[in-house]
Structure 1
Amino acid sequence: MAILAALDAYLTLCGGRLQAMRGSVHDVTMKHALLVLRVGLAIYWALVAFTLPNTVYLTPELLAPSWVAWLQAACAVLVLGRRTSWLAGLGMIVLYVMAVLDDGWFHLLDYPIFLAIGFILVIARLGCGSNDAFSLQLLRWSAALTLLWGGIEKFVYPEWSFPLVQKIPALGLGVSPEAAMDMYGFGEAALSFGLLLFGVGSQVSAFFLFCIFVAAVPLFGWIDLVGHSAICVALALLALVKPQRYMMLRSRWRNGGAHAMLFAFTVSVLMAGYFGLHALYVPGWARSPFANRTVVGS
């Protein structure tokens, strides 16, 4: 992480063709950023409402009453209009709250990006989000935190993913399921951290994360693509625009050291927070035999 952060500082602060290209792509994208987001969300809502075997709130595992599909279809239409998109944002917030009530607040900690998208659409109508840069920065933070939390889960409770490794042996990477989950967790956490705090590396991280979601489709199928389509839209957009704020020290190597220490601190705090919040949500879990890190099939 220190080496990557030092390289990011060099690339972010240098001039030349790279910065010219980033600037031109950024300027073109920013003119239509929220429009691209709204069109992408319209596609997401239409897919979720009409192409899944079951009605869901936000992602395939969050089962919902059948009438929710009509709310999602309405959101797909409303989000296309600039004057009505705030109603779709309100609909997203309502869906998130309903999912919390049905599936619990801990489960929905996996998806803060949906709540952020709802607020982006609402505040854009209220005038607070007329600055597109603010909205995209909120989108960047929520996407990074969503994926960081998912990566931390693979460190804290790798056994939750063991059945998936058994079902699709290629995911095992030729190592034990526990080691594979640690590798996946590190990769996801590292890219999410870069998305959150790097300069050029933030856009590169968004691009790689987008590619990972797309590459997963052949393994997991259409349902996985539909469930992650909103996140894919956000990542594609974030790969094209420069971050508004990023952490950067004057010295490349001090910058690298600071990022490396902050990454270690972030992972440690989030691991403790994940375990603590889950123990709070499910009393007795930490004392149950299922909380032990056992390797299936060993």
Structure 2
Amino acid sequence: MLQHKKALLTFIVALMIATPITTIAHVKWFAEVDPIKVPIEEILSPFFITFALVVAIILAILPQVMDYLLKIPYATKLDEFLNGFRKYSRYILKYGTALAFIIQLVSGTMFAPEFVITDTWQTIIMGLIILCLLIPSHYSTKVAAVVMLGLFITVWIDFGWFYMLDYGFYIAIIFVLLIGKTKLEGWGFPFLYLGTGLSLCWVAVEKWVYPGMTLDIVVNHGVPTFGFEPEIFIVMAAFVEFVVGYLLVVGILNRILGLVVTVIFILTSMLFGVTEIIGHAMIHIVLLIFIVEGVSFYQPPIKIHKTKMDQFVFVFLNFIFVLATFILIYYRFA
């Protein structure tokens, strides 16, 4: 039993160490160079392909190991403790979103640091959203969700659909707030997992397609590369972010991932300052919900397959397929 506890602790620590700081930093907020798309041949380098295969194998093994880790008594007690807070998840999202929008409003932005408030009506709309979220009524929450959607669409029109896919998780948040106290309420958090995971995967691909921006951050902000060449480090950092998003979508390690990424957010705030806090305040709230919820409502697709070999093959091929699809779509429209 002691060995199991040590194994779990070692795994969590290793995951934290393997999560580079630039994984969480949004390169658009800090890069001082123009985005330059590299040739697809440069992205799909021998190192990239080899690393992708290694990651796919590790992910395929991970579900088999998780069953043993979850049998640890301490982990079971922690699960039961966190399960008691699930009834507050929607309140965390509602009032957490209000807090994130207050931070944005004070900083003169909306949704993200690059979307600066330029007109009085935008300030009024932001204030209205905050007010409706703070009112303890699900009707006012729905009003806030509709107004938030309208504001998001205006930003979407200004910056384009491709640019705004980085912030697709806001659509998921709006959806959860909108369907509260309805027959569709049960679809809310699964959609939140899906939207957040896909957003993380999408942002990760940006680091492969536009490596120059991430390289600029690594050099100018003194980001540690742990002995790796900056170019290699960037590829690995993007893989970590992509894997985090992928695991959220498939429903594996949600609580551990939420905890690890939250710790990394705190570290990045120390490195990148106020901009990081403003930009990721909303993600903090979402990760807190993931820590509380776990996968209570979600049946991972891997459970369709009964034998361990079938599960191994499914996860391996599924990850390669998802990775290839994201890269091709992003590269096509970038």
Report the TM range for the smaller structure's normalisation: 0.7 to 0.9
Conserved in 2, the CA contact under 8 Å of 1:6 and 1:252? no
Partner residue of 1:177?
230
Amino acid across the alignment from 1:76: I
Conserved in 2, the CA contact under 8 Å of 1:147 and 1:192? yes
Describe how 1:259-270 pairs up with structure 2 within 5 A. Answer: 259-270=315-326
Partner residue of 1:150?
203
Partner residue of 1:219?
271
Whole-angstrom CA distance in 1 between matches of 2:63 and 2:77: 16
Match of 2:126 among 72, 78, 82: 72
Moved more, 246-255 or 16-25: 16-25
Partner residue of 2:47?
none
Match of 1:11 among 57, 66, 69: 66
Describe how 1:71-220 pairs up with structure 2 within 5 A. Answer: 71-80=125-134, 81-83=136-138, 84-124=140-180, 127-131=182-186, 134-199=187-252, 201-220=253-272
Amino acid across the alignment from 1:37: L
Whole-angstrom CA distance in 1 between matches of 2:100 and 2:67: 33
Q: Which runs of 5+ in 1 are unaligned?
A: 279-298
Moved more, 39-48 or 91-100: 91-100
Match of 1:62 among 109, 112, 115: 115
Whole-angstrom CA distance in 1 between matches of 2:145 and 2:166: 19
Conserved in 2, the CA contact under 8 Å of 1:10 and 1:252? no
Whole-angstrom CA distance in 2 between matches of 1:124 and 1:277: 35
Q: In structure 2, do the counterparts of structure 1 residues 173 and 11 end up closer, same or farther at CA, with 3 Å as the change threshold? A: closer
Amino acid across the alignment from 2:235: D
Whole-angstrom CA distance in 1 between matches of 2:151 and 2:164: 11
Whole-angstrom CA distance in 1 between matches of 2:78 and 2:208: 35
* 1:4-27 CA-partner distances (Å, limit 9, x unpaired): 443334434865636743652453
Whole-angstrom CA distance in 1 between matches of 2:239 and 2:325: 14
Whole-angstrom CA distance in 1 between matches of 2:188 and 2:179: 9
Q: Does 1:233 align with 2:285?
A: yes
* 1:231-266 CA-partner distances (Å, limit 9, x unpaired): 111011112213212132333343233212211211
TM-score, scaled relative to structure 2: 0.74
What is the SS of the residue equivalent to 1:60? strand
* 1:56-84 CA-partner distances (Å, limit 9, x unpaired): 22100122324223322221221132331
Describe how 1:24-43 pairs up with structure 2 within 5 A. Answer: 24-43=80-99
Task: Say which structure, 1 or 2, has more relative contact order (CA 8 Å, 6+ apart).
Answer: 2
Conserved in 1, the CA contact under 8 Å of 2:250 and 2:300? yes
Whole-angstrom CA distance in 2 between matches of 1:106 and 1:141: 18
Q: In structure 2, do the counterparts of structure 1 residues 128 and 64 end up closer, same or farther at CA, with 3 Å as the change threshold? A: farther
TM-score, scaled relative to structure 1: 0.83
Q: In structure 2, do the counterparts of structure 1 residues 181 and 12 end up closer, same or farther at CA, with 3 Å as the change threshold? A: same
Match of 1:47 among 90, 103, 114: 103
Conserved in 2, the CA contact under 8 Å of 1:58 and 1:95? no
Moved more, 242-251 or 148-157: 242-251
Whole-angstrom CA distance in 2 between matches of 1:209 and 1:252: 29
